[in-house]
Amino acid sequence: MSTPTTEVHNATEQQVLPTGRAVTKQLIVQKFGGSSVSDAAGVKRVAKRVVDAQAAGNEVVVVVSAMGDTTDELLDLASQVTDSAPAREMDMLLSAGERISMALLAMAINKLGASAQSFTGSQAGMITDGIHGKARIIDVDPHRIRTALDKGNIAIVAGFQGMSRTTNEITTLGRGGSDTTAVALAAALEADVCEIYTDVDGIYTADPRVVPSAQKIDTISSEEMLELAASGAKILHLRCVEYARRFGVPLHVRSSFSQHEGTWVIPSAEDKITTQEGVALEQPIISGVAHDRSEAKVTVVGVPDIPGKAAAIFQVIADAHSNIDMIVQNVSTHGTGRTDISFTLPIVEGADALAALHAAHDQIGFETIEYNEQIGKLSLIGAGMRSHPGVSATFFKALSDAGININMISTSEIRISVVTHADLLDEAVRVIHNAFDLDSDSEATVYGGTGR
Ligand code: ADP
Ligand code: ASP
Ligand code: MG
């Protein structure tokens, strides 16, 4: 399958190596996730790979995540100290994880004889809004990175963090945010490619930790990848995919533990996948199955069934900066004039959302609130769903044959999602993967990481 082309090629120029060989100089942004730099040996292995990329004649910018499960360990530590950490201090704590790996990687690269300099998010010009814990990038000013490259350095940037110009505070972008740092830098530097190095060989038809028979996908449209990421497939951070699509950054997801070609995320669904001979290939109907255990279900019971009540509930949730996912309003119980409204949101936002709802009790006038963290969400994604009838029928029949009860349903043009009991989620994923003939004969390799 041919490598997708892109219009972003400004950084490319001819260069003659000391050996006399002419090469096309590219600007590559490489992002290494926590499992790729989980210990000193991992840091050295990554350093070698980075140095090789530069030695091949490229300019290289590296974005690193915190080592191994450092971010989770820092979160655990904070929770042992307090159950109400100020958001500002939480960001000061969590941003330290990436500072450790960036400095160690720069040291390891210097030891190999190449020169590298590390930069925090704010030094690298990652400007965000001021919302701690889930800041959004609003500007990137990578002039220090550009200068470092011009001097022949490899620039190492701490992922997942930035700085707000309004508050002058350090911020973090939300879990998995280093992917977004990498793409934002790639866009600002007009890089030729953004390579996301992780602990599996690319994007699969399901999480290989849950479905060992999942198949590696060679190319996937950004539209489908957006749905997969939004449905909880943490192989890529959702905003990284949005950013890459908006700025036309070619994304290549691959393993830092192997030399295999990974998965290319191609800019849009309209772009036909073509072979080297230029023949358009039929897109598969289904691209994959995603699952998510990070959400909880809130049911606001006994809401007066009059206009404006749903608006009031969701305004309260929005003011608490919570992101709602699925929403279901039940039919009003006959004669009571009241209804129940259920929705899902990230577990980490549950406590704040509940507090905000209780504070607005008199304004909304509900009876009680139920809260359930023992849920899981399963999503089937495929651009071909638009034009292929029968996908829903197969989907719901497979779950019913397996005796899996469904709590909530939501759909988009190219996705069907259901909420099940958390304990049934893994089985549901395997059942659906199998029902759509996605299983391969061989087992996917998971090279590292704890899947945490
Ligand atoms: P990193 O530390 O490199 O950022 P992550 O743990 O964030 O790595 O993401 C990689 C993990 O994503 C894989 O180990 C795998 O368990 C999980 N994953 C979930 N869905 C998929 C999928 N569809 N394809 C590949 N990996 C997936
Ligand atoms: N270290 C952060 C996390 O664990 C960011 C990232 O890995 O992308 O979420
Ligand atoms: Mg990640």
CA of 234 to the centre of ligand 3 (A): 6
**From the CB of residue 111, how many other CB atoms can be counted at a distance below 10 Å?**
12
CA of 451 to the centre of ligand 2 (A): 12
Note the pLDDT of residue 344: 97
What's the whole-number mean pLDDT along residues 185-193?
97
Equal fold, 8-282 vs 286-435: no
**From the CB of residue 304, how many other CB atoms can be counted at a distance below 10 Å?**
16
Reported as a single tens digit per residue, the pLDDT across 307-327 is: 999 999 999 999 998 989 999
Note the pLDDT of residue 336: 85
- Domain range 8-282, CATH architecture: 3-Layer(aba) Sandwich (3.40)
CA pair distance 409, 53, nearest whole angstrom: 46
Note the pLDDT of residue 175: 95
Q: Is 233 in the pocket of ligand 1 (CB under 6 A)?
A: yes
pLDDT at 11 over 90: no
> What's the pLDDT band for 4 if we cut at 50, 70, 90?
very low
pLDDT at 349 over 60: yes
Note the pLDDT of residue 1: 38
Rg of the chain over Cα atoms, rounded to whole angstroms, equals: 23
pLDDT at 63 over 70: yes
CA of 304 to the centre of ligand 1 (A): 43
Beta-bridge partner residues of 380: 289, 416
Note the pLDDT of residue 6: 37
Q: Can you read off the two tokens belonging to residue 193?
A: 């490619």
CA pair distance 415, 411, nearest whole angstrom: 5
Identify the residue whose C-alpha is closest to ligand 2 atom 5: 176
> What's the pLDDT band for 282 if we cut at 50, 70, 90?
low
What's the whole-number mean pLDDT along residues 65-70?
98
Ligand nearest to the CA of 237: 3
Q: Is 65 in the pocket of ligand 1 (CB under 6 A)?
A: yes
> What's the pLDDT band for 452 if we cut at 50, 70, 90?
confident
pTM for the whole structure: 0.90
CA pair distance 420, 186, nearest whole angstrom: 38
pLDDT at 10 over 60: no
Question: Hey, which bits of 247-326 come out as E strands?
Answer: 251-255, 263-266, 288-292, 295-304
What's the whole-number mean pLDDT along residues 43-48?
98
Domains of the chain, by residue range, sit at 8-282, 286-435
> What's the pLDDT band for 285 if we cut at 50, 70, 90?
confident
Q: Is 451 in the pocket of ligand 1 (CB under 6 A)?
A: yes
What's the whole-number mean pLDDT along residues 266-287?
62
CB crowding 314-330: b at 16 or more within 10 Å, else e? eebbeebebebbbebee
Superfamily of domain 286-435: VC0802-like (3.30.2130.10)
Reported as a single tens digit per residue, the pLDDT across 199-210 is: 999 999 999 999
Reported as a single tens digit per residue, the pLDDT across 128-181 is: 999 999 999 999 999 999 999 999 999 999 999 999 999 999 999 999 999 999
